[in-house]
Structure formats: C-alpha cells, structure tokens
Amino acid sequence: MMIGLSSILIVACVCLTAMADSPPECTERLNSVAKLKDLYCDAHVVFTGTPLSAMSGVSTTPEGGQIETSLTDFSVKGVYKGEEEYNVQVMRSYHNQEDQCSAEAFPAPRGVSEIFLVFGTGASGRYDVQACGHRFLWSCVSKKVQKALRRRIRCN
C-alpha cells in the first residue's frame, strides 16, 4: 500500500497544529509568598500579559563572547505594580558564559492565550527581565500567591 505525499503532508500539518495549540508546561512554578514578595519588591513593574510578537538577535563582545537578546511585545492584562499600560516590550539578554538561562524569556507566541506574570525593571513601556525566575505562566502561579498578589504587597 502506497501512501501519497498529500496524505503525509496533511498528517504533518494536523500534528503541528495540535502541538502549536497545546498549552505549555510549567518549567517554573511560583508557590511561595515569600519569593513573591522578594520578586515584587525588587521589580519596577509587575504585570500579567499575553505575548503578541517576539524577535531575537545575537551579537559578539570584543572578547569574543556571545550575547543573545530577545524582545517580546505584550498586551497587558493586569498591573500589580507600576504604571497602568496597555502594551509593553520586555527584553531579555543572555551572556553565554555568565548566565544559566536561555535568551528566550518567553516562548514565541503560538496562537494560544498564554498569560504570564512578569517582574521587570525599567520604565516607560520598555522593561528588562534580568535573570531566571522573573516570569511565570499564570497557570503555574499557585492560588495562594495569586491571592497575595491581589492584596498589594508592602515592601520595606
């Protein structure tokens, strides 16, 4: 029995579409209110949002080191700290010898509603995510932490 090329392409398209629309898994969870407070107090802005578009680039330092950068545009859903904004950009830089995280701060938008909780520094709609553990899928944030976040956190 011969399978035609068009049948293989249809199966491949269906599989890729199913993969693109499946929700992402939790690579990091935020379950601790104490960790939430530390992240919140160190950040200039804390918001939930959905990635709209993303781009990345690679550059080289004079010493020959590699720097990867990603820039993600967000539609802001809720602001917990900082100014109320509707669209923001979040940048993440990765220095290959100094950093344990990849440059991909946020996965490329995949057609599903992925809401992230983001802790950033900066101002005026353009923020930096400095290191690992400064962004979490909202579905990976415990209900206890979500409730604490809504109550407004006091920093010393």
101 CB contacts (<8 Å, ≥6 apart)? 92, 94, 131, 132
What's the rounded mean pLDDT across residues 140-153? 92
Lowest-confidence region among 1-5, 35-39, 49-53: 1-5
What pLDDT does residue 9 have?
34
Q: Which residue has the higher pLDDT, 57 or 141?
A: 141
Distances (CA, A) of 84 to 18, 45, 87: 35, 10, 10
Per-residue confidence band for 108, with pLDDT thresholds at 50, 70 and 90:
low
Query: What's the pTM?
Result: 0.75
Q: Are strands 87-95 and 116-123 parallel, antiparallel or unpaired?
A: unpaired
What pLDDT does residue 47 have?
93
SS3 of the chain: the string is CCCCHHHHHHHHHHHHHHHHHCCCCCCCCECCHHHHHHHHHHCCEEEEEEEEEEEEEEEECCCCCEEEEEEEEEEEEEEEECCCCCEEEEEEEEECCCCCCCCCCCCCCCCCCCCEEEEEEEECCEEECCCCCCEEEHHHECHHHHHHHHCCCCCC
Delimit the domains of the chain by residue range.
28-150
Residues in the chain: 156
Q: What is the CATH number of domain 28-150?
A: 2.40.50.120
